[in-house]
Amino acid sequence: MVHYLPDNFPDTVLFRPKSGSGNACAISADGLSSNFNSIRKAISNLNNDGTGSVDFYGAEVYAYGSLSKKGVGLFSGKNISSIGNIDKFDVSNVTDMSYLFKDSSLTDFSFLSGWDVSKVTNMEGMFEGCTGLEDISGLANWKVDNVTNMEGMFEGCTSLKSLKGLEDWDVSNVRSMSGMFASVIKDQDQHDALNPVVGYAGEMAIASVKSLSKWKTGNVKNMNRMFEGCTKITDFDGLKSWNTENVSAMIGMFEYCKSMSSLGFLSGWDVRNVTDMRAMFALCSNIGSTEGLGEWNVSNVKKMDDMFVYCSKLKNIEDLANWNTKDKSSTSALTSTFRMFSNCSFLTKLDPLKDWDVSSVEKMSDMFSNCGSLTSLQPLSS
């Protein structure tokens, strides 16, 4: 394959077959003879102001295997503003599309509607950081039943308001959805300090999760940070029928979902295999009650650090009394509850926690720090 910047179009990378080899050529990041690195170099040499373009004019390009290498996707980066003659690009034999458009300057992704992704197993970070992506309705006909990894797929797509197009996706084989719709963490130190303004690169604009109501999530094991930073969503009822029986990690799953006001949609979730719930509802400043969590079996959860930290309106935690009930649920596996209710300024009573088994907890510091409305710690004395 030949790829070059023609004199008359200096900001364009053309994909063309070698002279005398017909009008077809192939591309992949796999194998020692891969031309992927040289193609990526040509693309990276385009202007970094989002004015460059890629064109498949005069070529039939067949992709196979992986279209990314070491976290760099074929079309990733801010150098490309448009892709011409994309209908000449056959992706039907691609298995790995991870980071394919990561941090892309593209705003028009309508060409994706005709892609055959039926053999793809990895879509990790495929659109991560695509701040110009507004419409994914063109993905409605994608056959994703072979995909096992959707981690960070739409992470940092801050212009994406609707998930229309994902309603009928078959995600039954997906194992990881970690960070799938999350904000990008820009400053890890500030993020760890629970400073969303500085910590995130931008808040997500997604307004509803109703499009996800039919998803079959029974094989998902990792839901860490899945909706972190989705500050516009008020109603999460679209998730109430999700099968979470195989999920083991829910770290920061709803962190900084500051418009969430009710946890009722979680009442039917099976969390018996979850071991880590750190920061699961951190910074959910509109939650007033834990109603919806009363039937949870948290017997395998080891860490609840920051779970409700900065839930500043949280007042009613009555449902948490059921988390240590004979033959139903136990808190005996807990090893860390650091800052669990820190800065829950409306919290007045701790009675629901009086029967919790904290005999294995090693780290409990700041569990109730800055809970200024608490009148007594007496319920925890026995």
Band the pLDDT of 20: cuts 50, 70, 90: very low
40: in domain: yes
Residues 283-307 pLDDT 10s: 999 999 999 999 999 999 999 999 9
| Interval 102-120 mean pLDDT | 95
| Interval 226-237 mean pLDDT | 98
C-alpha to C-alpha distance for 43 and 100, rounded to whole angstroms: 13
| Interval 341-347 mean pLDDT | 98
- CA distances from residue 253 to 77, 181, 308, 362, 380 in whole angstroms, order as listed: 27, 10, 12, 24, 28
Angle (CA) 68-69-72 rounded to 5° is 70
The helix/strand count (H/E) of the chain reads as 3, 9
Q: What is the pLDDT of residue 162?
A: 98
C-alpha to C-alpha distance for 340 and 332, rounded to whole angstroms: 16
| DSSP strands (E only) in 184-289 | none
Q: What is the pLDDT of residue 304?
A: 99
- CA distances from residue 274 to 84, 264, 308, 337 in whole angstroms, order as listed: 46, 19, 17, 15
317: in domain: no
24: in domain: yes
* Least confident stretch, 17-31, 145-159, 257-271, 279-293: 17-31
Q: Which residues pair with 63 in a beta bridge?
A: 27
12: in domain: yes
372: in domain: no
| Interval 227-243 mean pLDDT | 98
Contact 17, 23 (CB under 8 A): yes
Question: Does the structure show a pLDDT above 90 at 139?
Answer: yes
Question: Does the structure show a pLDDT above 80 at 362?
Answer: yes
284: in domain: no
Percentage of the chain beyond pLDDT 90 is 80
Phi, psi of 78 (to 5 degrees): -90, 5
What is the span of the domain harbouring residue 86?
1-91
| Interval 329-349 mean pLDDT | 97
* Least confident stretch, 46-50, 125-129, 214-218, 313-317: 46-50
Contact 137, 111 (CB under 8 A): no
DSSP letter string, 227-241: TTT-TT----GGGTT
Band the pLDDT of 116: cuts 50, 70, 90: very high
C-alpha to C-alpha distance for 105 and 189, rounded to whole angstroms: 27
DSSP letter string, 72-85: EETT-STTEEEEES
| Interval 230-242 mean pLDDT | 98
C-alpha to C-alpha distance for 278 and 283, rounded to whole angstroms: 12
Residues 163-192 pLDDT 10s: 999 999 999 999 999 999 999 999 999 999
Question: Does the structure show a pLDDT above 90 at 6?
Answer: no
Left if phi > 0, otherwise alpha if psi is -120 to 50, otherwise beta: which for 336? beta
Band the pLDDT of 258: cuts 50, 70, 90: very high
C-alpha to C-alpha distance for 328 and 322, rounded to whole angstroms: 8
Q: What is the pLDDT of residue 32?
A: 65
End-to-end Cα separation, the chain, in angstroms = 75
Comparison of pLDDT for 95 and 4, the residue scoring more: 95
81: in domain: yes
21: in domain: yes
Within the chain, residue ranges assigned H as helices are 36-44, 188-192, 196-199
Local structure of residue 134 (DSSP, 8 states): -
If one counts the domains in the chain, the total is: 1
Q: In what order do the strands lie in the sheet with 60-66?
A: 24-27, 60-66, 89-96
Please, what is the average pLDDT of the chain?
93
Token output for 346 = 């409306």
